[in-house]
Amino acid sequence: MKRSQSDFIAGFLFALPYLIGLCVFALYPIAMSFYYSFTRYDIFSSPEWIGLANYTELFGDRFFWTSIYNTLYYTFISVPLGMLVAVAAGIAVECQKFRGSLSSGLSFFLPSITPLVAASLLWLWIFNARFGLLNSVITPVLDFLNDFLDSSLTAPGWLADPSWSKPALILMSLWGVGGTMVLYLAALQDVPQSLYEVAELDGAGPFRRFLSVTLPMISPVLFFTLVMGLIAAFQVFLQAYVMTAGGPGDSTTFYCLYLFNNGFLYFRLGYASAMAWILFLLVIAVTFLVFKTTGRYVYYEGEGA
């Protein structure tokens, strides 16, 4: 009895830093952001209540819709593609037990721990249309094809071309899938060998074993990375800020870049807050939707025990 009472006090004291942090750095700002979204606020004068005006202005704002389109384009291609590459790399590393398989795993992982600013500068040059690494590979291949087919294909302009700028950033995001791959690798190593053996006895080939054993066993991790990946991709900002400043045209003006510009470039803090709240609701909606639609395909080992 005495122990549980002192536990109660200790528990409260131990958790106190978090309770304070939760209130000051999460709950209070969330509430204030909601309030600001109904005001006109330029930081120099106090906020002025304008009702729903920010929201109605947003729905008529061309850049708002462009930024949503760009962000969804980026998210719905880069996230599934990234998961695919990460699973493939994870399985390749896991299946190959030879000297050097671990160090190749390492080379998949290293890009994901390099500072994103440094990576952005690097890729800025990789994508350089005339002198970049990428086109130094593509151009000779195309030249050969052109000779052969008598065609006139040219290498993409990447970040200089509005129709290639988003694919370029998606390609760059694939370079950073190593963090996800490590999670998959940990999950893959957890799959009991006996399950594969039983499946093999039942006559399942490699593809069938992947579908019926591997995939269900790693589905909790797949699900987790899907949700977190979507949320992270909605917030894509730095690459566009550093590499393209939203251009060319407004082809890489992502949602959070436009939000940042409104808040800290034009000092329209109320407008930016309204955008933040729309993003917040979008994240909640998508998370909910993913839970509803794919949640039931996730297999938890301990379930029903």
Residue 188: count of CB within 10 angstroms of its CB = 19
Query: Given candidates 79, 83, 87, 93, which one binds another protein under the rule CB under 8 A?
Result: 93
| Other C-beta atoms lying within 10 Å of the C-beta of residue 10 | 11
Residue choice 83, 87, 89, 213 for contact with another protein (CB under 8 A): 89
Q: Where are the alpha helices (DSSP H) in the chain?
A: 2-22, 28-36, 53-59, 62-95, 101-109, 116-126, 133-149, 165-175, 178-190, 193-201, 206-209, 215-234, 238-239, 255-260, 269-294
30 binds another protein (CB under 8 A): yes
Residue 224 sits in the site that holds another protein (CB under 8 A): yes
- Does 189 participate in binding another protein (rule CB under 8 A)? yes
Q: Whose Cβ is closer to another protein: residue 164's or residue 255's?
A: 255
- Contact between 123 and another protein by CB under 8 A: the answer reads yes
Q: Is 14 in the site for another protein (CB under 8 A)?
A: yes
98 binds another protein (CB under 8 A): yes
Residue 28 in the binding site for another protein (CB under 8 A): yes
Nearer to another protein, 163 or 264 (CB): 264
155, 209, 259, 261: residue in contact with another protein (rule CB under 8 A): 259
Residues 6+ apart with CB under 8 A from 259: 272, 275, 276, 279
d(CA 175, CA 258): 25
Q: Is 101 a residue that touches another protein (CB under 8 A)?
A: yes
Q: What is the C-alpha separation between 282 and 274, in angstroms, rounded? A: 12
**Positions in 126-185 near another protein (CB under 8 A):** 126, 131, 133, 136-137, 175, 178, 182-183
